[in-house]
């Protein structure tokens, strides 16, 4: 948003790995690099072009969070008619999403290389020159990171393409690519500004570099490199973020993180790095809008509320993973649906756990006039919550379960259960007598009183066969000191009774059994990553590096086949199709057809 308000009026030469290979076309209407990089302003414009790739629809503008990472144990593509594509793991090397991501990332690398090759040309302040160099180095490394983590051995390009006649580039072993990523990012850390100096999360800061270096090292520690020495490095980089001068901290309100993304508000304590979008293509051509909340939000056909295609569904496995009282669940997973084209919300019943959409990115909070297909919402790349979880994971692998890792996870759980905002809350409401004669068309009112609360809890009921079978908490209340009274009144029926329980100080913390061994704590960390970071395009890579991808998807498929309603058994399609070859994407057919040095393709492709 801030960074994107200074849009390029003159796009730099993007170049390509080949005239008809990594890019579809060779630019012919731009200034030569020999003449363009003459001023500080031109260098900054060129750097903006490097960032611009992040928001491409082929990268974080749409494809990564809508299709390329849809098939996991936390999400599925919510279209019963979708039989082919990356969304359901039924694709080949000609798939357009695979090709366009590959091409876009190399376009970003070419732009970064042009900046770096010309960084010494303009007369300018040396500190400012260093900042531009650091950001370009980091972005080049990040684009290589996305390539190597998705394709394995890939061409590593460190200089601008000089000619279209010498562009057949062989694949570089993944280990060498990772080593260069580490080198570039480490150098960048000493050049870029602190996040306090920048003031927003759309540009690369020291904290962003440190946090992503923790991620890179964790990926290297897992499959396929399995260099376990990298866990210690991951721990070191995560600690730099946690103990550094930026003073990063969790936002006390989980949902507010995502409301901020919708409203152009920056919370640099929690949101360390994010993809910037600005505008929604209504009345202004100079905007960079994305599809965040439009494709991966709640299904809604009312354009004033914010049109949503609801492509991403939450799996029952994710829903069941959340404990009672975990406030993240009903934000991350939409607890309601819209009634047709109206803005009326209908809450899902307790049994309706297969139908729910991803709910993190909600269009209702956008401040701009809504546009059907584009939104101004930013997309998170690195949150402080992720840093804490990476610290816990690396610490556990190096030292076993200890105070620093356990405390990091408990910080997240304290927020998850609302302790920072609301103290002790209603944890459960159980039906002790179902009564008789109740009608879903005329449900009774649930009143929750007493208990010393500063805000009373609220709830609705589920009625089956004239009986109340469940009480569904819609607001857990705040700062209870004792158990409140639950009263069921009104409606057509009689005789139903229910009782509540409340949380107690510290009950959000991990139990001794959960931290009794390295293996037990590892399981907890994996689950906390899923609950905290779901729908942020991280789960697929996590499952792959843990060597859990195939097994988790097959388990999700088996559960859907056995338990899903008939019209939702298609949830199993990704898990039924999954194979070890899906641990890496295929090199795009378009590229291998014109550059034989890219062959052989990845195993199974």
Q: What is the pLDDT of residues 541-595, one digit of tens each?
A: 999 999 999 999 999 999 999 999 999 999 999 999 999 999 999 999 999 999 9
Evaluate whether residue 4 is within a structural domain: no
pLDDT at 26: 46
Q: Considering the chain, what percentage of its residues have pLDDT values greater than 90?
A: 88
Q: In this structure, are residues 470 and 350 in contact, taking their beta carbons and an 8 Å threshold?
A: yes
Is residue 95 located within the same domain as residue 230?
no
The CATH number of whichever domain residue 238 belongs to comes to: 1.25.40.900
Calculate the alpha carbon distances from 185 to 42, 207, 407 in Å: 24, 12, 28
Evaluate whether residue 286 is within a structural domain: no
Is residue 261 located within the same domain as residue 328?
no
Evaluate whether residue 467 is within a structural domain: yes
Beta bridge partners of 267: none
Calculate the alpha carbon distances from 408 to 57, 246, 510 in Å: 34, 17, 11
Is residue 110 located within the same domain as residue 95?
yes
pLDDT at 31: 55
Q: What is the pLDDT of residues 67-109, one digit of tens each?
A: 999 999 999 999 999 999 999 999 999 999 999 999 999 999 9
Is residue 579 located within the same domain as residue 515?
no
User: What's the distance, CA 537 to chain centroid?
Assistant: 4
What's the rounded Cα separation, in Å, for the pair 122 and 126? 10
pLDDT at 286: 56
Is residue 103 located within the same domain as residue 114?
yes
pLDDT at 284: 67
For 10-45, give the DSSP string.
SPPP---SSTTTTSS----SS--HHHHTTSHHHHHH
Is residue 386 located within the same domain as residue 237?
yes
pLDDT at 168: 87
Evaluate whether residue 586 is within a structural domain: yes
Residue 342 pLDDT class (50, 70, 90 cuts): confident
Evaluate whether residue 5 is within a structural domain: no
Is residue 58 located within the same domain as residue 119?
yes
Could you tell me the two tokens for 604?
């199974």
Is residue 447 located within the same domain as residue 582?
no
Q: Is the pLDDT reported for residue 7 higher than 70?
A: no
Evaluate whether residue 281 is within a structural domain: no
Q: What is the pLDDT of residues 499-510, one digit of tens each?
A: 999 999 999 999
Q: Which domain holds residue 18?
A: 11-192+551-596
Kindly give the interhelix angle for 126-151 and 40-52, rounded to the nearest 10 degrees.
20
Is residue 50 located within the same domain as residue 63?
yes
Q: Helix or strand or coil: residue 549?
A: helix
The CATH number of whichever domain residue 38 belongs to comes to: 1.25.40.390
Is residue 37 located within the same domain as residue 120?
yes
What average pLDDT does this structure show over 38-43? 96
What's the rounded Cα separation, in Å, for the pair 288 and 52? 9
Residue 123 pLDDT class (50, 70, 90 cuts): very high
Q: In this structure, are residues 14 and 111 in contact, taking their beta carbons and an 8 Å threshold?
A: yes
pLDDT at 35: 67
Q: What is the pLDDT of residues 414-444, one digit of tens each?
A: 999 999 999 999 999 999 999 999 999 999 9
Is residue 56 located within the same domain as residue 129?
yes
Phi, psi of 432 (to 5 degrees): -100, -20
Beta bridge partners of 345: 338
Is residue 471 located within the same domain as residue 498?
yes
What average pLDDT does this structure show over 40-68? 97
| Lowest-pLDDT range of 17-26, 249-258, 267-276, 372-381 | 17-26
The number of distinct structural domains making up the chain is 4
Evaluate whether residue 2 is within a structural domain: no
Evaluate whether residue 585 is within a structural domain: yes
Q: Which of 18-22, 177-181, 324-328 is modeled with the greatest confidence?
A: 177-181
User: What's the distance, CA 175 to chain centroid?
Assistant: 26
């Amino acid at each position: 948003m801030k960074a994107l308000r200074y849009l390029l009026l003159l796009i730099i030469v993007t170049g390509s790995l080949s005239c008809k290979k990594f890019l579809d076309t060779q630019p012919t209407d731009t200034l030569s690099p020999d003449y363009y990089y003459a001023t500080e302003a031109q260098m900054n414009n060129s750097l903006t072009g490097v960032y611009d790739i992040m928001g491409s629809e082929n990268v974080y503008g749409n494809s990564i969070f809508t299709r390329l990472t849809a098939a996991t144990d936390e999400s599925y593509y919510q279209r019963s008619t979708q039989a082919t594509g990356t969304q359901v793991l039924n694709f080949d090397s000609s798939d357009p999403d695979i090709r366009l991501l590959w091409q876009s990332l190399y376009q970003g690398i070419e732009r970064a290389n042009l900046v770096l090759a010309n960084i010494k040309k303009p007369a300018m302040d040396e500190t400012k020159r260093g900042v531009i160099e650091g950001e370009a180095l980091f972005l080049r490394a990040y684009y290589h990171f996305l390539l190597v983590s998705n394709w394995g051995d890939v061409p590593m390009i460190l200089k601008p393409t000089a000619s279209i006649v010498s562009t057949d580039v062989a694949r570089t072993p993944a280990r060498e690519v990772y080593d260069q990523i580490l080198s570039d990012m480490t150098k960048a850390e000493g050049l870029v500004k602190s996040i306090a100096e920048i003031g927003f999360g759309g540009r690369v800061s020291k904290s962003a570099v440190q946090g992503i270096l923790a991620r890179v090292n964790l990926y290297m520690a897992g499959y396929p490199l399995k260099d376990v020495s990298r866990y210690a490095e991951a721990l070191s980089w995560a600690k730099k973020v946690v103990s550094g001068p930026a003073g990063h901290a969790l936002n006390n309100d989980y949902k507010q993180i995502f409301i901020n993304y919708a409203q152009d508000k920056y919370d640099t304590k929690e949101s360390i790095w994010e993809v910037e979008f600005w505008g929604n293509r209504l009345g202004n051509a100079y905007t960079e809008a994305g599809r965040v909340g439009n494709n991966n939000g709640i299904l809604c056909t009312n354009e004033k509320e914010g049109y949503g295609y609801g492509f991403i569904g939450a799996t029952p496995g994710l829903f069941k993973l959340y404990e009672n009282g975990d406030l993240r669940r009903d934000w991350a997973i939409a607890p309601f649906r819209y009634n047709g084209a109206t803005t009326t919300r209908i809450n899902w019943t307790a049994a309706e756990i297969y139908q729910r959409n991803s709910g993190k990115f909600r269009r209702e909070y956008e401040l701009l006039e809504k546009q059907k297909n584009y939104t101004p919402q930013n997309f998170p790349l690195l949150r402080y919550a992720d840093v804490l979880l990476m610290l816990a994971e690396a610490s556990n692998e190096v030292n076993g379960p200890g105070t620093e890792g356990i405390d990091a996870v408990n910080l997240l759980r304290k927020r998850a259960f609302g302790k920072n905002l609301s103290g002790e809350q209603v944890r459960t409401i159980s039906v002790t007598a179902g009564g008789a004669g109740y009608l879903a068309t005329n449900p009774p009112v649930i009143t929750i009183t007493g208990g010393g609360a500063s805000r009373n809890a609220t709830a609705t009921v589920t009625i089956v066969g004239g009986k109340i079978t469940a009480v569904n908490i819609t607001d857990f209340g705040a700062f209870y000191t004792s158990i409140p009274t639950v009263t069921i009144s009104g409606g057509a029926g009689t005789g139903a009774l229910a009782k509540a329980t409340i949380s107690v100080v510290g009950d959000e913390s991990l139990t001794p059994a959960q931290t009794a061994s390295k293996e037990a704590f590892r399981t907890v960390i994996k689950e906390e990553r899923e609950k905290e970071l779901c729908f942020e395009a991280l789960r697929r890579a996590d499952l792959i590096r843990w060597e859990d991808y195939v097994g988790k998807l097959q388990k999700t498929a088996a559960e859907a086949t056995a338990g899903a309603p008939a019209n939702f058994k298609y949830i199993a399609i990704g898990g039924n199709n999954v194979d070890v070859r899906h641990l890496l994407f295929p090199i795009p057919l378009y590229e291998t057809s014109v550059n034989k040095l890219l062959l052989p393709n990845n195993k199974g492709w």
